[in-house]
Amino acid sequence: MSLTPTSTDTLPTAVLEALHSALQTAPNAARALPAACYRDATVHALEQQAIFGSEWIPLAHVSQLPKAGDFVTVDVGDEPLIVTRGKDGRIRVLSRICQHRGVDMLPDKAARHCGQGNTPLLRCPYHLWNYDLTGQLIAAPEMAGSTCHAMEKVKLPEFRSEIAEGFIFVTFKASSPPLASVLHALSSGYLAKYGLAEAEVVWAQHWECDFNWKVLAENFMEPYHHLGAHRTTLQPFLPARFCATEPGADEHHMAVRLPLEAGIRARIKETGQAEPGFTPFPSLDLADHLDWWVTMAFPVFLLFLAPDRAFWYRLLPTGPETCSLLTTMLVHPEAKNAPDYAEQLARAEQEAIAFHMEDMEICSAIQRGVRGRGYTRGALSPLEEPLLHIQRYLARRLAPPAHTPIFSMTA
């Protein structure tokens, strides 16, 4: 990750104080973060080291790589990666750095975060060294004369990866706890019944964003902005006022319940019928059709769950004031058998883009705001409680107080 040595000592004082106070602050006394959290190079460098270089980071869903040879490319910080499915069916997260002279084997900037395809091998464009999908070097032209080259010993580095709920995660830290233990509360409490491991990504769109990653994460998790930013799209059926952060938020996850509008709930209960849409996730019962959810496993596993579709956002910082975002939609495979599936999908894509554009516009506007002298740490609504949980997470990762080994996580 970042080569800049960083530590808590280098964090701006305002950031340190804000993060430490978040650990003690009640949700009804919470305030927005200082502007430096969204702009400062030392905050970004420390995040790269203590968060993105250490935690489990989701990279892809298994349905994006169904066949041998399928791959997805993505950069995590300065680490160029390729997720491959080998002939043995195994998914691996490999470095894209050629073991000859260090070329990123996919130099096309546009494809770094959204490359996807199928290939029998990985070929470096510089001198044409070839690797198989396990990362093993299998051909290196004109190298016979080298006395220090042993083909069988050359492999692309493979990073530790695990799969949960169908999502492929990577960690660069050997001592990270198993992914299943990190996701346990989120999976058992919320995700398991959606069967996301069987779901398929049916829409994906990549966005280069001109705002800090936390702007998007905060925006994703708080439903308060349905009132303004989504007043004609989400607010009519997911009204902000009734949304609530679940009490069990902890150091790994949080979840927010978004109840459907009262008239829609009454209709579902009365008719016993789900709302029109894709074929719903089959393990849900009728009560599950009354709410949508947003969930987050720290730092960036973001899901927006409806009874018939799930939106997974893959969010990765690319700089102090920029990030890369892949928005995706998943449905149960059964949904594809509906006679009007093509029209349903087109409509769902349009809706997703419409509400996402509203978020993009607001997030860019926030980033402009945090650059100005007029920025202040405004008071948060109780509907913005998720922001406090993000602040507490950041405090624990970036600025753990030396003499407070156990933090109160009560809401």
* Options 10-18, 70-78, 106-114, 358-366: segment touching Fe ion (CB under 5 A): 358-366
> Distance from first CA to last CA of the chain, Å, rounded?
33
CB of 315 to Fe ion, least distance (A): 13
CB 75 within 8 A of CB 208: no
CB of 94 to ligand FES, least distance (A): 14
Residue 274 binds which entry of ligand FES, Fe ion, none, CB below 5-8 Å type-dependent: none
d(CA 250, CA 40) in angstroms, rounded, equals: 27
CB of 135 to ligand FES, least distance (A): 13
Residue 123 binds which entry of Fe ion, ligand FES, none, CB below 5-8 Å type-dependent: none
Displacement of CA 300 from its chain's centroid (Å): 4
The residue with tokens 């808590």 is 8
Asked if 55 is part of the footprint of Fe ion (rule: CB under 5 A), the reply reads no
Could you list the residues that contact ligand FES (CB under 6 A)? Answer: 98, 100-101, 103, 124, 126-127, 129
CB of 163 to Fe ion, least distance (A): 28
Residue nearer to ligand FES on the CB measure, 100 or 336? 100
d(CA 266, CA 254) in angstroms, rounded, equals: 27
Paired sense of beta strands 116-118 and 244-245, if any: unpaired
Residue 39 binds which entry of Fe ion, ligand FES, none, CB below 5-8 Å type-dependent: none
CB of 363 to Fe ion, least distance (A): 9
Using alpha carbons, list the distances in angstroms from residue 143 to 128, 139, 147: 11, 9, 9
Residue nearer to Fe ion on the CB measure, 187 or 328? 328
Give me the phi and psi of 189, to 5 degrees please. -80, -30
* Options 108-116, 284-292, 352-360, 376-384: segment touching Fe ion (CB under 5 A): 352-360
* Options 9-17, 149-157, 201-209, 357-365: segment touching Fe ion (CB under 5 A): 357-365
d(CA 59, CA 71) in angstroms, rounded, equals: 11
CB 286 within 8 A of CB 270: no
Give me the phi and psi of 101, to 5 degrees please. -120, 15
Q: Which amino acid is at 227?
A: L
Residues 6 or more apart whose CB falls under 8 angstroms from that of 22 comprise: 30, 388, 391, 392, 394, 395
Give me the phi and psi of 334, to 5 degrees please. -55, -30
Cis peptide before 299 (omega within 30 of 0): yes
Residue nearer to ligand FES on the CB measure, 129 or 207? 129
Asked if 359 is part of the footprint of Fe ion (rule: CB under 5 A), the reply reads yes
Residue 375 binds which entry of ligand FES, Fe ion, none, CB below 5-8 Å type-dependent: none
Residue 101 binds which entry of ligand FES, Fe ion, none, CB below 5-8 Å type-dependent: ligand FES
CB of 151 to ligand FES, least distance (A): 13
Residue nearer to ligand FES on the CB measure, 107 or 282? 107
| Residue ranges in 166-233 assigned as alpha helix (H) | 179-186, 213-221
Asked if 222 is part of the footprint of Fe ion (rule: CB under 5 A), the reply reads no
CB of 59 to ligand FES, least distance (A): 23
Residue 98 binds which entry of ligand FES, Fe ion, none, CB below 5-8 Å type-dependent: ligand FES
Which residues make beta-bridge pairs with 122? 131
Half-sphere exposure of 117 (CA within 13 A, CB side): 11
* Options 121-129, 339-347, 355-363, 381-389: segment touching Fe ion (CB under 5 A): 355-363
CB of 295 to Fe ion, least distance (A): 15
Residues 297, 327, 19: CA angle, nearest 5 degrees: 40
CB of 358 to ligand FES, least distance (A): 44
d(CA 310, CA 92) in angstroms, rounded, equals: 25
Taking phi over 0 as left and psi of -120 to 50 as alpha, with beta for the rest, 318 belongs to: alpha
Residue nearer to ligand FES on the CB measure, 129 or 312? 129
Residue nearer to Fe ion on the CB measure, 359 or 385? 359
Residue 359 binds which entry of ligand FES, Fe ion, none, CB below 5-8 Å type-dependent: Fe ion
Residue ranges binding Fe ion (CB under 5 A): 359
